[in-house]
Chains A and B, each alone.
Chain A
Amino acid sequence: MTRRVLIAVFQQDSDLLRAVAAVRAAGWKIDDVYAPYAVHGLDRALGWRPSRLSWVCAACGLAGAAFMLWFQQWTSAVSWPLNVGGKPWNSLPAFVPIIFEGMVLAAGLGTVLALFLVARLRPGKKTLPIVPGVFDDRFALVIEETDATFDAAAVSELLRNHHAVEIEERVWEADSCSTGAAGGAAGSRSRRRLNYLLLLVLIVLVAANMLVPRNQAQPNREFLPDMAHSPAYTSESANPNFADGETLQPPVLGTLAQGQRRLPYAATDADALLAGQELHNPLPAGQAGVRERGAVVFQNFCTPCHGGGGLGDGPVALRGYPAPPSLVTGNSTKMPDGQLFHIITYGRANMPPQAGLLSPEDRWAVILHIRSLQTPNTSIPAGTKP
């Protein structure tokens, strides 16, 4: 089906506005107006209702905000709850900025896409100006010839009275939207050809992927491996960065590990006596597990010389190394805990220092075990077999 239209061209926007008002007053149907800019007040003159795109904008904005609210809540509190700086799982104030950005992004992009859809704007679409100069300084008023009663002469007369500079009649195909028909057929043919080409490429690639054999043993090629292969020195390797050429460096003199206390003593007998007066065993003798820990430590570290019962008959002593004095008789029973601690820490006579091997807690625990060896009645907790 075809339709006939009357196109009138104006040079002044004020003439156009008056002509539109007159045409509407006469009851003729205005199909559209073509203008180089948005003429102020023309929508009112045409009596068009405001576009409903603002509702699209509101809906998109609401959807964007709701999605970002849900997404942040879900990722931060449900999918992988991660404690960051003690902030609560539901950190709503911290989620507000991104909710807002999501709203604006969705609303803005959604509205513009909706505009392109309803106005049928798309990249590459070809148009010819409806009349020359409509992008420059001409205004074209398109009146639809609705039926047989349409009096083209009367309309032309009216339009000429409103300073229309040019009036022409045209026949349009019904479904082609005004001027967009030009070059449509050629465009669709080339598009189809491009689609076939892309399909062919896809088929070739899929086929190649299936047909070309792949060596499963060969590792994939690494793209930007970054820090996957660490260039760090191992502890035993040579190291040019230190004066002694070793990677493993002793701690700086006087360094204390975290939680460790400094012992203000030297490895002398006088200081051992002093330690005996000043240090006290911090471990409660009755606490479960402490004495058992002492027994294990004694078994592992002391038995070789001192023997299982502390008599000084360990395997090392039996093979000729000078035997240590008994721990269960004589001097040892009179020594305070602090002095024993000093001896274990710094060594004495043939006994080497154990500070590097035993933590302070283990040293105190082992002293508790020695005390229980010295008083055998209490050494065996009730209920256990000797």
Chain B
Amino acid sequence: MAEARLASPPPLVAGDKSPADVTREICAPMERRPSGLWWSAFLVSASVLALGVAAVAYEISTGIGTWGLNRTVGWAFDITNFVFWIGIGHAGTLISAILLLFRQKWRTSVNRSAEAMTIFAVVCAGLFPLIHMGRPWMAYWVVPYPNYRGPLWINFRSALMWDVFAISTYLAISLVFWYVGLIPDLATASTRGKPGWRRRLLGFFSLGWDGSYRTWHRYELVYLLLAGLATPLVLSVHTVVSFDFATAVLPGWHTTVLPPYFVAGAIFSGMAMVLTLMLIARKVMHLEDYITHRHIDPMCKLTLLTGSMVGLAYLVEFFTALYSGNEYEQFGASNRLWGPYGWCYWLMIGCNVAAPQLLWFRWVRRRLPLVLVIVILVNVGMWFERFVIIVVSLHRDFLPSSWTMYVPTSVEIAILAGSFGLFFTCFLLFCRFLPMIAIGEVKGVLGHGQTDCAEVTIP
């Protein structure tokens, strides 16, 4: 037959490494002095973070009036950023949990940093509702605690309340998942390098891990259970975020497909962010042998898949608005496309639907700079998607007399920039102080793709 079978895959980790090589190379960034590239990246992100901190301080001390919100558009930059960051976080859980359940071995090189990314992204996301409260020191009011107001409980029927529970659960479980995954590697790292506070700290948090297989045996099960819990959790989190909008009666917000469409969009934007970080980190931290085409190719395909799902959802929404025969739905749809914010919509279509279609071609997937450009476009597009959903639906509601426009102020832009600063500062610190790749898991797949030496017949 002339037809070519798909070639058997190359090894996941290039360079024919032994387990000792893996330990040494992954721990190397923690033990050597940071490079100039790391320092410059760190200084840039830390100063952007400082800008954001200043903007938040100004906003809190002066009031929410420093933002461009008005009576018609009560949610804009803040909630857009919130949804954007939550979405970024989702790919981390997808890679670490869902792919673990599907036994996709390629996840091992990227799952640690993807999980770290999840945590930092959720922290960034959580900041926005908090500062949107205007009086963030009252944030504890969202917690149902017995109080002397009756006790007057929080409103469990409100989607915003569901959000509080979903986001905090997500943060807690992501942290636990990440930390549990780190324990063996902390033990490994704490036995290396110069003695000192760093080793003592790593040892403190490695909980006395001794590599006993009795513990490994339980640990594997718990890790799998956590993955099994995190998978529906990650779907539920963006579903609940979508409920914030879909439980309203506003055209453009209330649509039954919003939950699965938000989940797909979240994974899409998250994949794009993972790829962005990985493509940069593998160069900066010299991890080319660990993050190879075997990792980047499936991530590109997942980006393409979720991007196409999002594109389909745009189509479904538009079609149903026309089909519904509801004049508000029809107006909402046409206002998105041809209203004063129409350019946002077309930018979103271009970045989210058109650009990823290039990933159909293997030629493109192999050109990493090109992939980087595409995923950055996707990041931009997904931010604009949330902006379109939130602001464009709000700014022209049922009452034409209250129609207005929304323009962000410099404070809002500075806070958005600051959230990026926070994210990248955290990520750079993580690269520097913790094992960026799951050492134990990579060692377990070293033989993968070569002869499977672990397959031994057991009597």
Contact = CB atoms under 8 A, between A and B. Distances in A.
A touches B in complex, CB < 8 A: yes
Given A104-B229, A135-B191, A125 B208 contact: yes
B135 A226 contact: yes
Interface in B177-204: 177, 180, 183-184, 187-188, 191, 203-204
A82 B154 CA distance: 10
Given A87-B157, A98-B165, A112-B222, A32 B212 contact: yes
Q: For B169, B184, B226, which residue has the most chain A Cβ atoms within 10 angstroms?
A: B169
B162 A97 contact: yes
Given A51-B217, A72-B156, A115-B222, A121 B208 contact: yes
Interface stretch (B17-25, B84-92, B125-133, B299-307): B17-25
13 contacts: A13-B453, A38-B220, A39-B454, A51-B217, A76-B155, A80-B150, A100-B232, A101-B169, A101-B240, A120-B208, A121-B215, A135-B184, A180-B208
Nearest to A77: B156
A38 B232 contact: no
A127 B219 CA distance: 18
B184 A33 contact: no
B34 interface: no
B43 to A, nearest CB: 33
Given A104-B173, A105-B169, A82 B155 contact: yes
Nearest to A76: B156
Contacts of A42: 213, 216
Contact of A98 (B153, B162, B214, B232): B162
B162 A105 contact: no
A226 B191 CA distance: 52
Interface stretch (A17-25, A143-151, A198-206, A247-255): A17-25
Contacts of B23: 36, 135-137
A105 B173 contact: yes
Given A40-B454, A87-B157, A135 B176 contact: no
Interface stretch (B62-70, B273-281, B392-400, B440-448): B440-448
Contact of B218 (A37, A44, A109, A115): A115
Q: For B19, B180, B232, which residue has the most chain A Cβ atoms within 10 angstroms?
A: B19
B183 to A, nearest CB: 7
Given A33-B213, A57-B225, 16 more contacts: A45-B458, A51-B222, A75-B154, A97-B243, A102-B169, A109-B176, A111-B225, A115-B222, A121-B183, A121-B207, A121-B209, A129-B191, A129-B211, A130-B211, A136-B188, A180-B210
A47 to B, nearest CB: 9
Contacts of A14: 453-454, 456
B144 interface: yes
Interface of B: 18-20, 23, 135, 137-138, 144, 150-158, 161-162, 165-166, 169, 172-173, 176-177, 180, 183-184, 187-188, 191, 203-222, 225-226, 229-230, 232-233, 236, 239-240, 243, 439-441, 443-444, 453-456, 458-459
Nearest to B185: A135
A63 B371 CA distance: 46
Interface of A: 12-14, 17-18, 21, 25, 32-46, 48, 50-51, 53-54, 57, 61, 71-72, 75-76, 79-80, 82, 84-85, 87, 91, 94-95, 97-98, 100-102, 104-105, 107-109, 111-112, 115-116, 118-127, 129-130, 133-137, 140, 178-180, 224, 226
Contacts of B456: 14, 17-18, 21, 41, 45
Contacts of B236: 97, 100-101, 104
A54 B459 CA distance: 28
B208 A98 contact: no
A135 B199 CA distance: 14
A105 B441 contact: no
Contacts of A226: 135, 138
Given A36-B188, A53-B221, A41 B211 contact: no
Q: For A18, A38, A50, A122, which residue has the most chain B Cβ atoms within 10 angstroms?
A: A38
**What are the 10 A-B residue pairs with the smallest beta carbon separation, nearest first?**
A125-B208, A137-B19, A75-B153, A121-B207, A33-B213, A37-B440, A97-B162, A135-B188, A34-B211, A101-B169
Contacts of A80: 150-153
A104 B233 contact: yes
A102 B233 CA distance: 11
A220 to B, nearest CB: 15
Contact of A122 (B169, B208, B217, B219): B208
Nearest to B443: A37
Contact of B229 (A43, A107, A137): A107
A108 B173 contact: yes
A94 B157 contact: yes
Contacts of B19: 36-37, 136-137
Contacts of A95: 156-157
A130 B211 CA distance: 9
A45 B459 CA distance: 9
A310 to B, nearest CB: 50
B452 to A, nearest CB: 9
B210 A97 contact: no
Q: For A36, A54, A61, A115, which residue has the most chain B Cβ atoms within 10 angstroms?
A: A36
A269 B144 CA distance: 67
A48 B217 CA distance: 9
Contacts of A109: 172-173, 176
Contact of A129 (B154, B210, B222): B210
